[in-house]
Structure 1
Amino acid sequence: MLHHTQREIRYNFEYDRRLRACFIGAGGHAYRNVYPTFRYAPVDLIAICDLDAARAKGFARTFGAERTYADHAEMLAAEKPDVVFIVTSYDQDGRVQATRLARDAVAAGAHVWMEKPTAASRQEVEELKALSERSGRRIMTGLKKTFFPAVEKLKDIIASPEFGTLSSLVVRYPQAIPPLADRADLVAMQSFLDHIYHPGAILHYLGGEIDRASYEWTPVTGASVATLRFRSGAVGALHLAAGQSGSAPLERIEAIGEGSHAIVENGCRLIHYRKARLPAYGRAASFIQPEESAALIYEPEFSLGQLYNNNMFTLGYVPEVLHFCEAVLEDKPLTKGTLDAAVEIMKLFDFYRTTEAGQTRTL
């Protein structure tokens, strides 16, 4: 079954049914990347809440919300939304504000889409999962990397018979880790918690659950390299490449099967090296492969005013919001951005937070 399929996008005004939506948060990330997705989703934005009332009103004028609030409890009680979108920050102690806001939204009867991270502890994620199961309300975390078209296509390639069994998976992402002595402090770990959800989501989506891991760490930049063993039997590595140039593409993914492998560079360039024989050593005069085994390269063009060369699509923002909205409208389960996936990412977070370099731990 293919995970990545072409679809034609409908615009907001073309939907017959739309979800009554409230939004908690009026920050820069939400302004750039989440509110604009509603142009392509079955969402009727009825209210916005932010502690800065003037900011909420400015967002309402820009994005067409009918009312604004400075108190989310007041908004939830008055508006009775079908869904609530949450893009907020951290408390002073490093706890994730969205965790308690999601609980309040579910208590008010709404389904929840929340930006990552889901929470600051695995226990809190599991509590949200139990709440979701008791209430019948869906709670989705914005794991945008799993909605990148290039990553979805990579998932298809890995699942194809021609690729064989996934044998190894390597992800590079630029992120520092503080010294072990500082990792009990959630404030010191805030950047790491905020960003481990990106490579963690990719590893879980493509490789499944991680069984055990170990890592080495350098104090020069806080960079690390972890070796991983997945429950499937595949091996892998997570290179947290702190110190790399700010002018370079951030990340790289490489998945290797049996005689075939594929690479995603810069989030939008996918190269699939199909099964091919090595040319005769010392005798081959050309590097050109036969058509049936030549590499396939996928990358967007940036000349036409297409949706696919808009970052809201290339970076997965619209697809993840659509996945959430369609699950609610059609009463079907979420398959990505799930709390199960968030639990697995928090296992990885706990591993780095509590493990000394050089030790092997079961996750």
Structure 2
Amino acid sequence: MEPVKFNYEYSRKIRVGFIGCGAHAFRNVYPTFDYAPVDLVAVCDLNQERADIYKKRFGAEKAYTDYKEMLKREDLDAVFVVLNFDRNGHPLYPKIVPDILKAGIPAWIEKPVAYTAKEAEDLVELEEKTGQFVLVSNKRYFYPSFEKAKLILESDPFGKPVSVSGRYPLTLSPFQEELGKRTNLHWFLDICHPMSGIHYLMGEVKEMCFIEHQPSGNVQTLLSFKSGAVGNLELPSTQADTSPFERYEIIGNKQNVLIDNGMRLSYYKGSKGSGEYGKAPSYIGDDPTDGPVHWEPEFSLGQIYNKNLFLQGMVQSVNHFSNAVLNGRKIERATLKDSLHLTKIFEAYKNNRSGKWITIE
């Protein structure tokens, strides 16, 4: 995890431009600069009034309505891009990011990166050609709960992860025979949320098979990983609003890790009390220090880890990117290649009928 300082404590900062002045950026991205080595030079939005508001609110020097003009006029070390979808529900990043990379500037962008794997592949090729890099902010690569779970998974006592079970509410629209694909998948683009977490912990998917219930759009998916591990992902669109939103459990060698609601981390290890069947006097292990461990945030203290910007890994994502730019190195997580893999999984749902095994190339 990158060390955290307040913005004013950094002796060196990167000069950045920001494309997009929307509500999501206002809540979740601009405020992260308070904890990152970032000097906000310019903001850009199609709406001049909104750009001026964000310029004043977040301390930028300039406000633009044309991002190409901003790239041309300003001396920038990096660009942040947070945009909505087009009228078809497709991400706009494939239309904007190439201009940034061709200008010789690395980019931090929101997810999802693209609607098609071809678009994502083109960005990966351009990234390699220009020598720049793009971080796609799939947050679960930076959640504290996922980061610590990964450390446990990589420890010798846990052993090699052999299976995973996940749950995240999404709706899959019906397959349209006349088109040979599914449409109206704007919200289903959020498959990158659960799959980025599973990808971070388990590695790349080799094959998958899903079945669906219509008209609810509920889905059950079996996963086979390149590592040899197996898993399942439940997408229950009709679950109760009051239920925990998401859940992931990874099984190793007689040990389990559970991430509940993105926040509570449980590490199950050790054994129950000794004694023959039917006569065991205690459910607590003979060595009580070798037993389950549970972590969750407390909200009584004025710690930064209680802020949503940290609980959801937004600051960590921005810091990972900013420090890479500052120190002239490439990023290690949430890369374009990671997002390409997630987009291929999205396409597997989009372009296939349920009930068959699909190879993720």
Q: Could you tell me the TM-score, scaled by structure 1's length? A: 0.95
**Counterpart in the other structure of 1:191:** 187
Offset, 1:81? 1.3
- CA distance in 1: counterparts of 2:105 and 2:75, whole angstroms: 8
Q: How does 1:152-231 map to 2 (within 5 A)?
A: 152-181=147-176, 188-193=184-189, 195-231=190-226
Give CA-to-partner distance per residue, 1:319-352, whole Å, 9 cap, x none.
Answer: 0000001111112221111111111101111111
Identical aligned residues as a percent? 39
SS of corresponding position for 1:123: helix
Whole-Å Cα distance in 1 between the matches of residues 175 and 332 of structure 2? 35
Deviation at 1:248, TM superposition (A): 2.2
Q: 1:162·1:275 contact (CA, 8 Å) conserved in 2?
A: no
Q: Which residue of 2 aligns with 1:351?
A: 348
| C-alpha deviation, 1:58, in angstroms | 1.0
Q: Please list the CA deviations of residues 72-109 of structure 1 after superposition, one character each: whole Å capped at 9, or x if unmatched.
A: 11111111311110000112233321222111111222
Q: Is 1:362 aligned with 2:359? A: yes
RMSD: 1.6
Runs of 4+ aligned structure 1 residues displaced above 6 Å come to 182-187
Q: Number of aligned residue pairs: give it.
A: 357
- One-letter amino acid of the counterpart of residue 288, structure 1: I
Greater shift after overlay, 181-190 or 219-228?
A: 181-190
- Indicate the residue corresponding to 1:319 in structure 2: 316
5+ unaligned residues in a row in structure 2: which ranges? none
Cα deviation for residue 276 of structure 1 reads 2.2
Counterpart of 1:179 in structure 2: which amino acid? P
> Which one has the bigger helix percentage?
1
Aligned 8 A contact 1:80 1:108 in 2: no
Q: Distance in 2 between matches of 1:109 and 1:300?
A: 41
Provide the rounded CA distance (Å) in 1 between the counterparts of 2:207 and 2:182: 24
**Partners in 2 of 1:314 and 1:356 — Cα distance?**
37
TM-score normalised by the chain length of structure 2: 0.95
Which is further off, 308-317 or 329-338? 329-338
**1:189-248 CA distances to partner (integer Å, 9 max, x unpaired)?**
11111x111111112111111111101101142110100110111000111121111122
Match of 1:148 among 135, 143, 155: 143
**For residues 290-309 of structure 1, what are the structure 2 equivalents within 5 Å?**
290-309=287-306
How far the C-alpha of 1:185 sits from its partner, in A, is: 7.4
Summarize the Cα distance change of 1:304–1:106 in structure 2 as closer, same or farther, 3 Å threshold: same
Assess if the C-alpha contact under 8 Å between 2:273 and 2:284 holds in 1: no
Corresponding position: 1:234 with 2:234: no
Task: Supply the distance in 2 between the matched residues of 1:281 and 1:100 (Cα, whole angstroms).
Answer: 65
- Stretches of structure 1 that go unaligned for 5 or more consecutive residues are none
1:338 counterpart = 2:335? yes
Contact 2:173 2:183 in 1 (8 A): no
Structure 1 partner of 2:282: 286
Distance change in 2, residues 1:154/1:12 (3 Å): same
Correspondence for 1:61: 56
Query: Residues 108 and 134 of structure 2 are in contact (CA less than 8 Å); yes or no, is this contact kept in structure 1?
Result: yes
* CA displacement, residues 149-174 of structure 1 (integer Å, 9 cap, x when unaligned): 11111111111111111110111111
